[in-house]
Structure 1
Amino acid sequence: MNADNEAPNTEQTQTEPRKWYHGVTNYQWLVLIIACAGWVFDVYEGQIFNITRQDMLLEVLGGDEAATKQWGDFFLAIFLCGGTIGGLLFGSLADRYGRQPIMIATILMYSVFSGLTFFASDIYTIGGLRFLVALGIGGEWAVAASLVAEVFPKHARAHASGIFHATSILGTWLAALVGIWVASQWRYAYLIGVLPALLIVWVRVSVKEPQRWEERRRSTEVSQMGSFRELLLNSQWNGLAIRGMLLAAVGLGTFWAVTVAGQDIVREFLLERGVVEEDAKSRAKFAYGIVQATGGGLGLLSFGPLAARFGRKRTFIGFHAAALAIVPCVCFLPQTYTQLLILLPVFGFLTLGMHSGYAIYFPELFPTNIRATGASFCFNGGRMMAVPVLLFSGWLKSREDVSLSTAVMGLSLLFLVGIAIILTLPETKDRDLVEA
């Protein structure tokens, strides 16, 4: 294999480059770009439904608004389940058969089935296609996160993995712009979703299997590659897998229960001050989709450099503690819309930034033969564990005797659970990738 495909020898030396990107090869940059492109479209495929579902479901259900809300929530549950199953399945297959072919399979799956949504004419077809799209989306993250971790040298791993996950904000912005462009013609937004299939040619031509995976495949029985038995029944790894999953569940649960609530907080704030409903909705979308999302994107980009300097555990703890502190500030301190806009980027930065840590940390916990399996179990298992949080959040926010701000502040106590979990996990800063 070409030496340019792997990390330079700085991985084995004690003298680290002065800058994290020094010594990173052209091939390693190429892998990061391809992984980011796949993840951007991955997020686009997930977010475009949130943006277009009102128009889509109203059309398919003949204008029944009550059924539209019910089916919208049901499809969210379908999407979370599909993402979990796809992540576990394709993560295991990537460990067994290689990163490149499974990345191709996942991109092809979410691209094709998203495009087929253009032709959907009934609610059950849409539900089935959303499940199949989610299978591909769940699998792509695990494969790409493992590939980036394995290809980049130790000194650059946190930065590269953080950049990889942070590009999710580009997928969100892309979905928002496409949603605005297509307006009520929602089918074209899904037709655009076919474009990621073009990545397959690039992946096929450019991406090689990491050398460490090739070496491990030659020295390990096939049954041990991508083995859930090895992950969940081996005491060396099962505790890490369970605690990693719980850590992700806190982040994903608070995302739906706390971070996403930023839009509703702004809307209610404006309504209480006499702003008409349509204007309040428009200004809330801007505050959430642009102002808060920009802060969130900066938080995602910042986690990698902070983790490289202070360690993974300290950075996770810092983000969780600061998120716990910022929530009541956003909920109760602002007296004007301008003051709220000033706080929202900080709110986004602190409540979302920790998510980059999952792409950095989870692949570092497990050996090559179960790296994608373990990372996927943590992240996508966390999706499933977040469902009860989502349901409880909906129930709590719907209570007439509890204000939205009080509910969100109460739900933010989950960040304390995240701190407790990370305290039990090992530090991986300056550590080579694990080999059993």
Structure 2
Amino acid sequence: MTTSHTHSQDSSRPWWSQLSGYHWFVFVVASLAWFFDCLDQRLFSLARIPALKELMPGTSQSGIQAMGKDVTALFLVGWGIGGMVFGALGDRYGRSRMLTVTVLIYSLFTGLSFFSHYYWDFALFRFLTGVGVGGVFGLAVALIAETVPAGARAGALGTLQVLSTVGNISASFIKMGIDSLEKGGSIPPNHGWRYLFLVGAVPALLVIFIQKYLREPEPWLKLKAEGRLPAGSIFSPYVALLGDKKWRSNLIIGAVIASTGVIGLWAIGEYAVDLQDVVFKQHFLSLGVDPAQVAGKVSDAKNLAFLLNMLGGAVGMSVFTWMCGVLGRRKSFVIGFSAALVVTALVYKNVTTPTQAMWMMPLMGAVQLGPLAGFSIYLPELFPSRLRSTGISFCYNLGRFAAAAGSLFSARLATDVFAKSGVPDNLRYSAITMCAIFIVGIVAVIWAPETKGQPLPED
């Protein structure tokens, strides 16, 4: 059951004008939790190769790249486990309470990554960070979806994802600042990655505001008062979802659609940085740049390409949010996944210079990140309040396990198939092959229900 304010539809007014002061507070807190979550993810993407180079001295460049994918896989597995666990706990004990716990977990273990001395403790900290990171999305989305007016829901949830790019962009600027401090001697050489993770511990301060002011949404409080919240073991919400034909169908369709986008981002898009390491270095060396200056030029070019990639992502998610409101959810996903398939494959096939990357990466960011706004909008529309956090988290985080498998598969494609076959640019062709995943998402939309203009479902 939802309260009257969540049923009221008003598409004639901009979504932001429909929010009260408390609605804005909830939106800001949930967005900050997701902002810092995305900041943590991106800091890891930027720091993993430098970290492994220091922690695994004597390992070849290809070996470092492969181990980077293995650590990413562990991070994603932790992410998936955290999402599954905290999604169910959010339905049982409350969204805001569990959001507090997840923020504390990812802040603590991100900070502890600063103290890593070996591959194994670095990998362990990243796995445990993933557990906290994984819980945030489903809780934040359920919190906003059940708090703001229905007419503002799609806009607020789409904007939540748009604002996530601010976390990604912030990570890029933080990386530039840390690089500058390292070049200036304020940070020991090759230790910049440690300070990136130290910055990632800051979100713990957000917990103060979550604990003191954030209330549980009214639909959840009503279910609690009526004694209708999931009871029994932590698996009981999953039993309830799988035991009902309608919710089971929505769970499967939502999971396949979300997994497509998550695999596309983490098992394909994230390795654009690794490819840039190789092709940018080759480019600068071919121009006769002093080898001692190449590393710095590569780093600067990668930072700028990443920033442009995130700006493109912000535009893509804004456009996708608009498409969901105008075209509906199903058509938007078909268009989004089709664009991701074509653009991502073309970018990986053709990018060879920093100049090309500066216009290609924004395009890839737009098509890869765009559908993620659709997940924020669509997933809460598939499940009832008593199971909403569980359903959202399952769909979004099942993709983490799939992306972890995809990351390992991509690594094996690069090292055991293309490299051993003598194919040049093995990372490039591994990524192009992985783009086939977008076809799966396009096919899955055939069975997806259209939820545009409908109230949040209830039993």
* TM-based fold match above 0.5: yes
Q: Give percent identity, aligned residues only.
A: 32
Q: Is 1:36 matched with 2:31?
A: yes
Match of 1:3 in 2: none
Match of 1:202 in 2: 209
Aligned-partner Cα distance in 2 for 1:390–1:150: 34
The residue matched to 2:16 in structure 1 has which SS? coil
- 400-409 or 300-309: bigger deviation: 400-409
How far 1:272 sits from its partner (Å)?
6.7
2:107, 2:201 within 8 Å by CA — same for their partners in 1? yes
The residue matched to 2:450 in structure 1 has which SS? coil
Aligned-partner Cα distance in 1 for 2:242–2:316: 32
Q: 1:192 to 1:284 in 2, by over 3 A?
A: closer
1:7, 1:153 within 8 Å by CA — same for their partners in 2? no
Match of 1:315 in 2: 332
Match of 2:383 in 1: 366
How far 1:187 sits from its partner (Å)?
2.9
Match of 2:15 in 1: 20
1:183-332 map, 5 Å: 183=182, 184-219=191-226, 220=228, 222-223=230-231, 227-263=237-273, 268=279, 271=282, 274-275=286-287, 278=294, 281-282=298-299, 284-286=301-303, 288-331=305-348
Q: 2:397 aligns with which of 380, 384, 387?
A: 380
1:320, 1:418 within 8 Å by CA — same for their partners in 2? yes
Letter in 2 for 1:285: K
2:110, 2:197 within 8 Å by CA — same for their partners in 1? yes
Q: 1:370 to 1:72 in 2, by over 3 A?
A: same
Match of 1:429 in 2: 452
1:7, 1:151 within 8 Å by CA — same for their partners in 2? no
CA RMSD of aligned residues (A): 2.9
The C-alpha deviation readout for 1:171-223, integer Å capped at 9, x for no partner, is 22222333333342433322222211111111122211111111122231542
Match of 1:413 in 2: 436
1:118-157 map, 5 Å: 118-157=114-153
Aligned-partner Cα distance in 1 for 2:114–2:92: 34
2:69, 2:407 within 8 Å by CA — same for their partners in 1? no
2:15, 2:156 within 8 Å by CA — same for their partners in 1? no
Letter in 1 for 2:396: F
Structure 2, gaps ≥5 residues long: 183-190
Letter in 2 for 1:82: G
1:263, 1:284 within 8 Å by CA — same for their partners in 2? no
Letter in 1 for 2:199: I
The C-alpha deviation readout for 1:331-362, integer Å capped at 9, x for no partner, is 56789865553343222211221111111111
The C-alpha deviation readout for 1:95-153, integer Å capped at 9, x for no partner, is 00111110111111111222233334344333332222111110111110111111122
How far 1:396 sits from its partner (Å)?
3.3
How far 1:364 sits from its partner (Å)?
1.2
Aligned-partner Cα distance in 2 for 1:8–1:167: 28
Aligned-partner Cα distance in 2 for 1:334–1:81: 30
Q: 1:259 to 1:129 in 2, by over 3 A?
A: closer
Aligned-partner Cα distance in 2 for 1:18–1:364: 21
1:264, 1:284 within 8 Å by CA — same for their partners in 2? no
Q: Is 1:355 matched with 2:388?
A: no
- 59-68 or 96-105: bigger deviation: 59-68
Aligned-partner Cα distance in 2 for 1:253–1:311: 23
The C-alpha deviation readout for 1:43-91, integer Å capped at 9, x for no partner, is 2222222322334334444554577555433321211111111101111
Aligned-partner Cα distance in 2 for 1:418–1:320: 7
The residue matched to 1:40 in structure 2 has which SS? helix
Aligned-partner Cα distance in 1 for 2:451–2:197: 40
How many corresponding residue pairs?
430
Aligned-partner Cα distance in 1 for 2:3–2:160: 17
Q: 1:395 to 1:233 in 2, by over 3 A?
A: same
Instruction: Using structure 2 for the length normalisation, give the TM-score.
Output: 0.84
Q: 1:401 aligns with which of 409, 423, 426?
A: 423
Letter in 2 for 1:196: P
Q: 1:16 to 1:401 in 2, by over 3 A?
A: closer
Structure 1, gaps ≥5 residues long: 1-5
Q: 1:235 to 1:56 in 2, by over 3 A?
A: same
Aligned-partner Cα distance in 2 for 1:374–1:328: 31
2:111, 2:198 within 8 Å by CA — same for their partners in 1? yes
2:176, 2:303 within 8 Å by CA — same for their partners in 1? no
The C-alpha deviation readout for 1:371-393, integer Å capped at 9, x for no partner, is 01010000101111123322332
1:89-128 map, 5 Å: 89-128=85-124
Aligned-partner Cα distance in 2 for 1:48–1:79: 13
